[in-house]
Amino acid sequence: MGVLVGLALLSALAMVRPDPGAGSAAARLLAPDGHLSTMTAELPGGPALLTVETARQPGAAAFQGGPEHFLDVVGHDPEALERLWVRETQQRRSRDGSAARHTLSSLDDAGLHTVVAGDGRQARTFEPPALALPADVAAGREWSSEGTVLDADDERRPLGDYRWQARADTSPAGPGCLDVATTLQVGQQVTRDVRTWCPGRGVVAQQLPGEAWTEAAGPPAGLLAPPGAEQPAGREWDPAGWSVQPRPLRRAGLALPVVAVLPPAPTGSGMVLAPTSGGDLLAARRGPEWLLEEWSAHPGGTVTAFGRFGEVTVAATTLRRLVGYDDTGLRRWQLELEDVVARTPVRLDATGVVVAEQSGGLTALDVTTGAVRWRAAGGADVRVAPQLCGDLVLTLDATPRLVARDAATGEQRWESRLAEHADVLACDATTVVVTDSEFDWHGFAVADGAPRWTVRGPAAVHHAVVAQETVVLSSSTGVQARSTADGALRWQHPVAASALVAGGGHVALVGDGRVDVRALDGTVVASLLETPTSAADALLVSPAGEGLWLMGDEGVPTWVGP
Q: Would you give the binding string for another protein spanning residues 65-84, x where CB under 8 A is met? A: ----------------xx--
Q: Which one, 220 or 379, has the nearer CB to another protein?
A: 379
131 three-state secondary structure: strand
Find, among 550, 539, 382, 518, the residue nearest to 463 by Cα: 539
Q: Would you give the binding string for another protein spanning residues 327-366, x where CB under 8 A is met? A: -----------xxx-x---------------xxx------
Rounded CA-CA distance 295/309 in Å is 17
Please report how close the Cβ of residue 417 comes to another protein at its closest, in angstroms: 9
Q: Which one, 446 or 540, has the nearer CB to another protein?
A: 540
Please report how close the Cβ of residue 379 comes to another protein at its closest, in angstroms: 8
489 binds another protein (CB under 8 A): no
Strands 489-493 and 478-483: antiparallel
Beta strand ranges found along 110-188 (DSSP E): 111-119, 123-134, 142-151, 157-170, 178-186
Q: Would you give the binding string for another protein spanning residues 380-419, x where CB under 8 A is met? A: xx-x--------------xx-------------------x
460 binds another protein (CB under 8 A): no
Q: Which one, 278 or 329, has the nearer CB to another protein?
A: 278
Strands 249-251 and 291-297: parallel
Rounded CA-CA distance 226/139 in Å is 41
Rounded CA-CA distance 364/271 in Å is 24
2 binds another protein (CB under 8 A): yes
Segment contacting another protein by CB under 8 A, of 13-21, 149-157, 484-492, 552-560: 13-21
Please report how close the Cβ of residue 16 comes to another protein at its closest, in angstroms: 6
What single DSSP character describes residue 239? G
Q: Which one, 457 or 547, has the nearer CB to another protein?
A: 457
Task: List, in order, residues 6 or more apart from 429 with CB less than 8 Å away.
Answer: 389, 390, 446
Q: Which one, 304 or 313, has the nearer CB to another protein?
A: 304
- Chain Cα centroid distance, residue 243: 28
Q: Which one, 204 or 297, has the nearer CB to another protein?
A: 297
Q: How many other CB atoms sit within 10 Å of the CB of residue 196?
A: 23
Please report how close the Cβ of residue 108 comes to another protein at its closest, in angstroms: 14
Please report how close the Cβ of residue 260 comes to another protein at its closest, in angstroms: 8
Q: How many other CB atoms sit within 10 Å of the CB of residue 445?
A: 13
553 binds another protein (CB under 8 A): no
Beta bridge partners of 323: 315, 334
Q: Are 197 and 180 in contact (CB under 8 A)?
A: yes
Please report how close the Cβ of residue 63 comes to another protein at its closest, in angstroms: 8
Q: Are 296 and 283 in contact (CB under 8 A)?
A: yes
17 binds another protein (CB under 8 A): yes
Please report how close the Cβ of residue 318 comes to another protein at its closest, in angstroms: 4
φ/ψ bin of 176: left (φ > 0), alpha (ψ from -120 to 50), beta (otherwise)? left
Segment contacting another protein by CB under 8 A, of 54-62, 213-221, 240-248, 344-352: 54-62
28 three-state secondary structure: helix
Element containing residue 63 per DSSP (H, E): helix 61-64
Find, among 243, 232, 227, the residue nearest to 329 by Cα: 227
Task: List, in order, residues 6 or more apart from 158 with CB less than 8 Å away.
Answer: 148, 149, 150, 151
4 binds another protein (CB under 8 A): yes
Q: Which one, 93 or 298, has the nearer CB to another protein?
A: 298
534 binds another protein (CB under 8 A): no
423 binds another protein (CB under 8 A): yes
What single DSSP character describes residue 530? S
Please report how close the Cβ of residue 149 comes to another protein at its closest, in angstroms: 27
Element containing residue 412 per DSSP (H, E): strand 412-417
Rounded CA-CA distance 107/21 in Å is 6
Phi, psi dihedral angles at 182 (to 5 degrees): -125, 140
Q: Which one, 12 or 221, has the nearer CB to another protein?
A: 12
Q: Which one, 312 or 362, has the nearer CB to another protein?
A: 362
Q: Which one, 17 or 121, has the nearer CB to another protein?
A: 17
Q: Would you give the binding string for another protein spanning residues 268-307, x where CB under 8 A is met? A: --------xxx----------------------xx-x---
Binders in 138-157 for another protein, by CB under 8 A: none
Please report how close the Cβ of residue 499 comes to another protein at its closest, in angstroms: 14
Task: List, in order, residues 6 or more apart from 9 with CB less than 8 Å away.
Answer: none
Question: Which residues of the shown chain bind another protein in the complex (CB under 8 A)?
Answer: 1-4, 6-8, 10-17, 57-64, 81-82, 259-261, 276-278, 301-302, 304, 318-320, 338-340, 342, 358-360, 379-381, 383, 398-399, 419, 421, 423, 437, 439, 456, 538
